Amino acid sequence: MNWIKPDWPLPAHVHAAVTLRNGGVSSGSYASLNPASHVNDQPAHVQANRDIIKQMLQLPAEPVWLQQVHGVQVVKADQVQGLPEADASFSDQTGTVCAVLTADCLPVLFCGDDGAVIAAAHAGWRGLQAGVIEQTLLAMHCRDVSIWLGPAIGPDNFEVGDDVRDAFIADNSKTQAAFKTHGPGKWLADIYQLAKLQLKELGIKQIYGGGYCTVADEQRFYSYRRDGATTGRMASLIWRD
Tell me, yes or no, whether 47 lies in a domain.
yes
DSSP calls for the chain: --EE--S----TTEEEEEE-S-SSS--GGG-S----SSSS--HHHHHHHHHHHHHHTT-SS--B--B--SS--EEEGGG--S--B-SEEEE-STT--EEEEESSSEEEEEEETTSS-EEEEEE-HHHHHHTHHHHHHHHHT-SSEEEEE-S---TTT-EEEHHHHHHHHHH-GGGGGGEEE-STTEEEE-HHHHHHHHHHHTT--EEEE----TTT-TTT---HHHH-SS---EEEEEEE-
pLDDT at 11 over 90: yes
CB neighbour burial string for 1-10, b if at least 16 within 10 angstroms, e if fewer: ebbbebebeb
Total number of domains in the chain:
1
Could you give the CA distance from residue 150 to residue 83 in angstroms, rounded to a whole number?
23
Mean pLDDT across the chain? 97
Tell me, yes or no, whether 199 lies in a domain.
yes
Q: How much is the pLDDT for 223? A: 98
Q: How much is the pLDDT for 1? A: 79
Q: How much is the pLDDT for 104? A: 98
Q: What percent of the chain is predicted at pLDDT more than 90?
A: 99
Tell me, yes or no, whether 3 lies in a domain.
no
Average pLDDT over residues 196-214: 97
pLDDT, one tens digit per residue, over 83-115 is 999 999 999 999 999 999 999 999 999 999 999
Tell me, yes or no, whether 12 lies in a domain.
yes
Range of the domain at 22: 8-240
Tell me, yes or no, whether 1 lies in a domain.
no
pLDDT, one tens digit per residue, over 47-56 is 999 999 999 9
| Reported pTM | 0.98
pLDDT, one tens digit per residue, over 119-136 is 999 999 999 999 999 999
Q: How much is the pLDDT for 108? A: 98
pLDDT at 10 over 90: yes
Tell me, yes or no, whether 2 lies in a domain.
no
Q: How much is the pLDDT for 143? A: 83
For residues 60 and 238, the answer to whether their CB atoms sit within 8 Å is: no
Closest-CA residue to 21 (of 13, 12, 29) = 29
Residue 42: phi and psi, rounded to 5, are -65, 125
End-to-end Cα, the chain, rounded Å: 23
> Which residues have C-beta within 8 Å of that of residue 7, sequence separation ≥ 6?
148, 208, 209
Could you give the CA distance from residue 239 to residue 241 in angstroms, rounded to a whole number?
7
Tell me, yes or no, whether 111 lies in a domain.
yes
Q: How confident is the model at residue 35 (pLDDT cuts 50, 70, 90)?
A: very high
pLDDT at 148 over 90: yes
CATH of the domain at 76: 3.60.140.10
pLDDT, one tens digit per residue, over 177-200 is 999 999 999 999 999 999 999 999
Could you give the CA distance from residue 140 to residue 118 in angstroms, rounded to a whole number?
8
